[in-house]
Structures are given as C-alpha cells and as structure tokens.
Amino acid sequence: MEVEAGWGGRVAATVIVALRYVLPLAVVAAAVWVYEELPGVARLPPSPLTGLIPQHTQAIAAEKWMLGHFRVPLTARSVVVQRSAGGIGSATQARIVAAAVRADRRAARNGGRSGFAVPVLNTGGLAPAARERGTTAITYVVYPASVPAVRQAELTERYARRLSKTGVRAYPSGVFVGELEQAQAIADTLRWVEIATLAVIVVILAAYLRSAAAPIVTLVAAGLSYLLATHLVTWLGLHTGRAVPREVEPLMIVLLLGVVTDYSVFLISGTRARLRSGMPRVEAARSTAAEFLPIIATAGVLVGAGVATLRVARIHFFQALGPAMAFTVMIGMLVSALFVPAVLALLGRFALWPGLRAGDIGSGDPLAPAAGGLRARITGLFASRRKASVIAVVCGIVLAAAASGVAHTRLGLGPIRDLRPGRPAKQGAREASAGFSPGIIAPTTVLLRGGGVAADPSGLRTLQGLVEGLPGVAGVLGAGDLPVSQREGVFRAQHADAARLVVVLGAEPYSARGIDDLTALEGAMPGMLARSGLRGASVAYAGDTAISKAAVDDMHHDILLVGAVVLAVNLVVLALFLRSLVAPLYLVAASLLAVAAALGLTTYVFQDLLGYGQLTYYFPLAVGVLLVSFGSDYNVFIVGRIWQRSRRLPLREAVVATAPRAGRAITVAGLALALSFASLAIIPLASFGEFAFAMGAGILLDTFVVRSLLLPAVVSAVGEGSWWPLIHERIRAAAQRETD
C-alpha cells in the first residue's frame, strides 16, 4: 500500500527526477565555484572562547575606569610562571626582576604599545596567599587593549622563552594563552575528527544497506554540502562582521555529515524498498522523494530554525554561531533533497551495489510492516491503549531519573582546566597553585569608589582584614602592604576618591567554585563595609573571576530566553506541518525530557563520577538547542509518516504499521548521528568530551527510547485526539474507510 503524498511533495519529486541529468552537475558546479571564488574557514578568526566572554559587564567597565585613574593596572590575562621546588636563588630572582624592568622600559619607549611586566615572588611577606617561600615567581604581563588576544598569547609565550634563560623553566599561562593552546589542539586533531566521522558513516550505512555504493552517494552529498556551507558561511561572516571562529569547524563538519546522512538514509532506504518491489528506478526515486521531501523540508526548517534561535542570546559567539549553523543545516537539507534523489533516479539499483541485485527485484512490498523480531513485537503493544500508556509511563520514569542530575549541575569556564595535563598553560597554573594559590593566576580586584575611601587608611586596613578572613579567600593585598611612597597610583587613585584591594581566591579563577567564592564575597561586602566605616563607598569587581561570573549569569539568562524561543519555533512549525495543536505539545515535551536526561547523565558522569566539579558554562545551551532541534527532526520523520498512513488506516493501526519500518531507518540515522558527534571526543579538550558525550547520549536516548517507544506509545494512548482541532477530518476519513 503506497503512502499518500501531498501535492507539494509530488510536484517537487517530479521536477527533481525530471532534471536528474542536470541537478547533480549543477550542485557540483556550484560547490566548485564557491571553493574557487569565496574564502574558506582558514580566513575565519581564531580563538573560540574570546567571543564567549561578555564584553558589556560591570567587570569590564571597572577595568576601563581603573586604567584611567590608577598608575598601575592590576588586571592581567597573561602570566608567566616559574617554580623550583628546591628554591629560586637570589641571583635568579634578580634576573627575573631585571627582565621585567627591561620590558617596562621598552613599553615606555614605544608609548605603551607593547606589554610591560610585573613580577611577584613568594619571598618575604609581600606576596599574598603564598603556600611556599622562595620557590615561585609569577610575572604578570599587561598589554594595551589594542593588542589582539591571540597576539598577546604569542608575545607571552615569547617572554616565557626569554625568562627560561634565567635558569628556571618558565610556563606561559592565563586565559589568552589557554585559548591559543585550545585552538592549536583543535587544529591538530581536526583531520582525525573528519576521518572518524566519515568512517562511522561508511560502516553504518554499508552494514544497514549492505552496499558499498550507497555510502559513497551520501559522502559525496555531504562533501558538496561542506564546501558550499563553509565557504558561504565564511564569506557572509566576513562581510557582516559576525564571523564564527574557525575552531567551530569540527562542529560544522559533524553537523553537516549528520544531517546529510539522516536525510540520505530515508531517501536511499525508501528507494531500495521500492526497487525490491519491482518498481522502475525512475518511478522508485520519484515516489520516495514525493513521500520524504515534505518531511525532509520540514525537518530541515525545524533544525535550522532551532539553531537560529541562538541569535537572541546575549553572548556574541552565539549570536554569530546561530545563523551560521542554521545556514549550514539548510544547505545540507537542500543538497540532500536535490542531489540524492536525482542520483538515485540515474543509477537505480547500481547506487545500492552490491546489496541489490537483479534477482532481488520484485521480492517484497516496499511499505509492508516489518514482520517478526523484537521491534515488531514491541510495536504490536501499541495497538492497546492500556499497554501503550504503561510503556509511556515507564519511559517517562527512566528519562526523569536520568534528568535528575540537572538539579545540581554547576557551570564554569575552562580556558585552562579543559587542557590536557602537560600543556604549558595548564602546567603553569599547576606550578602557580603549588607556590601560591590557584587564584593567583588571575586575582580579583575590588574597586571602592566614593565615601572618602582614599583618605581612610584605617577603614581600608579593617576591610582588608575582614576580606582575608572569608572562607574561599587565600590572601589579600592592599595599600598597607606597600611603602607609603608607592601606594599612590597602585592601591589609591591619583586624582579620584577611590581605592582597591587585590583578592586571591583559593579556587581556580574561572571555575564554578571560584565563582561561588566571589558570590560569597559580594554578599558579605555590604556588612564588611559597614563594620569598616566605609558604608558610603560603592563597590565593583574586576578580573577573570568577575567576568566568568558575568558569563555564567548571562548563560543562565540565555538558556531561559533561547529555550523559550526554540520551543515556540518548534511548536509553531510542528503545528503547521501536522495541522494539529495537541500532537506538537507532547512531541516537544518528549524532546525536552530527552534533553534533560542527556544533561543530567553528563552531570553525573563528568561533574560527579570523573570529578570535574563543573561543566563548561556554554555547554547546556548549545547541547539543549541542538538536541531539541534534532528531536523535532525525528518527530517529523516518525509522526509525519504515521500522519500520512493514518489517512487510510485507523490511528493505532497506522502506528503499528509505521513504527517498525520507520523505526529502523531512524535507528540507523540516529546511530550515525550519535557516533558522528561522539567523534568530537578525539579533540583533547574536556569541553569537547562533555559535548560529545551529551550529544551522543541525547541522540541515542532520543532514538531508542523517545522515538522508538515513548512517542508511538503516547500517540496511541492519546488516540485521535492527537489531531485536534482537525479531528473531524479524521472521523470523516474513518467513515470513508468503512464505506470502502
């Protein structure tokens, strides 16, 4: 029994098959042209994390204010760490200080356009939070704001090589150096990610379709999509000023290969079934395209619109990433819809060689329900509303249990934590932590303005002591720690009523724990100001921990905002596609439950079991949007086919007839997509491991639990009410079936 296709699908399929001699060549020509004429990803800016830091925060504003009112800036994002467990001799210490003096003189000669150095040694009583004495030197390298982050990191690495000549190995570290090392780690392993993803697709498709040619058709379509997408996205980004960092290339590769593979699986498997039934190759390709093109178009719009919602986020990185990813998905959808059916119409069974031979033709009904097997037996349970309800409840309980981990998910940044052990930035942070405290790598500056703070040294000393006594604070440096002649311009403003303290936290500055410690400091500050007699002063916080806190706060805001927008988009598109208001509600709810389960499992594995203590702060938003979008993609594939079949069958019969066959294709597509995202774990960064696990787990849960069990069970349990307000059309269709 042929599935009834809409007129739009029939027209599109007829045109594509009619142009089968032209379309493949046209797509190839377009890909060659953009490759030759438009810039590639090598032209995109490096460093994926700089754009993830919010630029319009109170912390950034406080830093800019201090640059104009204090003689010495105390905020540096690049440091050089030297440590010798046996101690750094006085001669070596003198050479470290002399190198800093020379750097400062060079900076003065060229008008401050290069960086100057501020060395801090854990000798004497000046250094705050020192765990050891005479073992460690940290040189903060401060650059003008006009020097790009990548250039700052390169200059810091050069300065570290110079300091290593003093006799103690010097490690460059800090947020910018960490970002540069992350970018290099991605570049070094990108080719292996590509190879692994391609291997996954080839093996899975070859095994499922029993064909060597079918994976080639899919890979050619994916390769053409990749050339078109990467060059067009790069060109648009460079011309609109919203270029996506080139380090997102692994995600683009995996996303494109996954999308194209998904759509190709349905087109190729549908064509294979029709060829086996004896249908001529052109008619088989046309009939398959007529059935699936409306579903593919809707699925592509859902995924594209879902990721495009990232445009409403506050953070620049996501504002650029959302439209770029949406554009990438739409190109993959268009190439799949135009190229694959045309090639299948041209090649017929040869596109499935050697899995479909001449003797296989006429061996079955292309749309007959799968007989036997575990999947068919489970699907048979959906014919009973009571049994379907039990299955739905059990699936819901399992997913809810996995989702419980979300309740204690903690977010933080990982410019250094994400790196593998042995990388210079991570080793530098480790040595600094041993000689001082983890927070020394990027101290927090507390800026006090107004209320006569600059003229109240007693109040400032009292406040410093109170801050030092807080849990989570390893040490504090203030005006009382410098000679009187050096305090002006360092801890007291030269021409304003302002003063500042340098606070070294006991935790890594970018971590969830460090953010918690800063939050506690902010909460205690009003009371401490009152006890110090500085009640009239206003307070601002600067430094990497303050910026990290602002980033996490922004991310919590964006999760709610983008989440609401992406859910609204999915509800609207599904309602238009299904012409129903009830079904989209439980479809989106099922996708949300799968997303929560994936995030909860990731929390249990990485934050708790592996001891990470946190997840990368942008991870829930990126994973959530992608999983909701792909979940809606699979919603369209399975429910769309049930909807088509229910035009001629009662709903529960349509579920039983459709779920086994559609479920196999969705299983293969989901497995390929999950393993494609899992290949991102090859990149030696903790954040990519978290992302790979969450996406892989989420897609597998969506494939094997939500789409294969929960969704058909809910459709069966809700019954014809799923199609409200068009239920009267279903009643008429049922009456017509009885008449026939």
pLDDT digits (tens, 9 = 90+) for 115-172: 788 888 888 655 667 888 899 999 999 888 788 888 888 899 999 999 999 889 999 9
* Spatial distance between the Cα atoms of 489 and 282, rounded to a whole number of angstroms: 81
Query: Does residue 176 surpass a pLDDT of 50?
Result: yes
Query: Does residue 645 surpass a pLDDT of 80?
Result: no
- Look at residues 300, 149, 328, 163 and name the one whose alpha carbon lies nearest to residue 237: 328
pLDDT at 735: 46
Task: Classify 531 as helix, strand or coil.
Answer: helix
Query: Does residue 654 surpass a pLDDT of 60?
Result: yes
Question: What secondary structure, in 3-state letters, does 659-670 show?
Answer: HHHHHHHHHHHH
pLDDT digits (tens, 9 = 90+) for 294-319: 888 888 888 888 888 888 888 777 88
Question: Nearest 5 degrees, angle CA 260-CA 261-CA 265?
Answer: 120
Average pLDDT for 631-640: 76
How many CA atoms lie within 13 Å of 92's alpha carbon, on the beta-carbon side? 22
Query: Does residue 49 surpass a pLDDT of 50?
Result: no
pLDDT digits (tens, 9 = 90+) for 212-240: 999 999 999 999 998 999 889 888 877 77
pTM: 0.86
* Spatial distance between the Cα atoms of 516 and 519, rounded to a whole number of angstroms: 5
pLDDT at 485: 41
Contact partners, residue 359, CB within 8 Å, separation at least 6: none
pLDDT at 111: 63
Q: Pick the residue with more confidence: 739 or 155?
A: 155
pLDDT at 483: 53
Average pLDDT for 78-93: 93
When the pLDDT of each residue in the chain is averaged and rounded to a whole number, the result is 85
Average pLDDT for 349-367: 66
Please give the backbone phi and psi of residue 612, each rounded to the nearest 5 degrees, phi first.
-65, -30
Neighbours of 91 (CB within 10 A): 10
pLDDT digits (tens, 9 = 90+) for 17-32: 999 999 999 999 999 9
Cβ atoms of 428 and 421 within 8 Å: the answer is no
pLDDT at 43: 62
Average pLDDT for 459-487: 81
Q: Pick the residue with more confidence: 72 or 418?
A: 418
pLDDT at 533: 92
pLDDT at 304: 87
Q: Which two tokens stand for residue 507?
A: 């935790």
pLDDT at 138: 93
Please give the backbone phi and psi of residue 140, each rounded to the nearest 5 degrees, phi first.
-85, 125
Neighbours of 25 (CB within 10 A): 10
Is the sign of the CA dihedral 548, 553, 558, 564 positive or negative?
Answer: positive
Sequence ranges of the domains in the chain: 1-37+210-368
* Spatial distance between the Cα atoms of 343 and 340, rounded to a whole number of angstroms: 5
The CATH superfamily holding the domain 1-37+210-368 is: Multidrug efflux transporter AcrB transmembrane domain (1.20.1640.10)
